[in-house]
């Protein structure tokens, strides 16, 4: 699949040096996604700030965050996003069995190998991604188990990674 816009080669535009340095500091490399984002310095900067907060500066357990990210990637048919997060998910403690379970085509087909709260988060992930509007009965277990900060962080993680996968897909970024 051909990319729809040209990636920016790291180091090729001096005005991007500071943004590239921040990306390298947070990510360790400038991935194809970030090379694409560098076409707009303001978006690259804002994206890096938001996604660093989502991935590295919130109170959610890494395993829950990665579970959300992987599920969004599956629902949105974003294999590049999924593959990029498998190492993070394994490092966070998700098992290969759980990774396979997240690949289920529908929420109802996810094997019940997650605890009740994780299943509630997965249901919220599916509903936010596919239906947009969240019924009270889907939101209730999230509200009952998390404080305001955690609720925001769960919802923002789902929303942000929907943004990621949709940009990747629309611009044909990845493999």
Cα–Cα distance measured from residue 139 to residue 135, given in angstroms and rounded to the nearest whole number: 6
Three-state secondary structure string covering 26-76? HHCCCCHHHHHHCCCHHHHHHHHHHHHHHHHCCCCCHHHHHHHHHHHHHHC
- Spatial CA neighbour of 62 closest among 32, 37, 34, 94: 94
- Spatial CA neighbour of 94 closest among 124, 71, 63: 63
Cα–Cα distance measured from residue 7 to residue 110, given in angstroms and rounded to the nearest whole number: 36
Q: Label residue 159 by pLDDT band (50, 70, 90).
A: very high
The CA-based angle 40-72-143, given to 5 degrees, is: 110
Q: Label residue 174 by pLDDT band (50, 70, 90).
A: confident
Chain mean position to CA 45: 17
CATH label, 62-171, candidates 3.60.15.10, 3.30.70.1340, 1.10.3470.10, 1.20.1290.10: 1.20.1290.10
How is residue 18 annotated by DSSP?
A: H
**Residue 175's pLDDT is what?**
67
Q: Tell me: the pLDDT tens digits for 102-141?
A: 999 999 999 889 999 999 999 999 999 999 999 999 999 9
Find the mean pLDDT for residues 11-34: 93
pTM over 0.85? The answer is: yes
Average pLDDT, the chain: 95
Q: Tell me: the pLDDT tens digits for 74-100?
A: 999 999 999 999 999 999 999 999 999
Find the mean pLDDT for residues 17-23: 94
Residue 26: both structure tokens together? 């947070």
Residues of the chain with CATH 1.20.1290.10: 62-171
Q: How many CB atoms lie within 10 A of CB 137?
A: 8
């Amino acid at each position: 699949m051909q990319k729809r816009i040209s990636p920016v080669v790291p180091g090729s535009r001096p005005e991007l040096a500071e943004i590239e340095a921040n990306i390298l500091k947070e990510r360790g490399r400038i991935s194809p996604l970030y090379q694409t984002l560098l076409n707009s310095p303001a978006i690259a900067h804002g994206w890096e700030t938001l996604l660093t907060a989502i991935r590295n500066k919130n109170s959610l357990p890494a395993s829950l965050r990665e579970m959300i990210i992987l599920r969004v990637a599956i629902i949105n048919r974003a294999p590049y996003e999924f593959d990029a997060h498998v190492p993070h998910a394994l490092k966070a403690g998700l098992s290969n069995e759980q990774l396979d379970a997240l690949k289920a085509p529908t929420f109802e087909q996810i094997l019940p190998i997650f605890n009740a709260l994780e299943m509630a988060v997965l249901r919220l992930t599916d509903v936010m991604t596919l239906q947009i509007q969240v019924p009270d009965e889907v939101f209730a277990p999230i509200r009952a188990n998390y404080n305001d900060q955690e609720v925001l962080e769960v919802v923002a993680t789902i929303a942000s990674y929907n943004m990621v996968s949709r940009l990747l897909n629309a611009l044909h970024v990845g493999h």
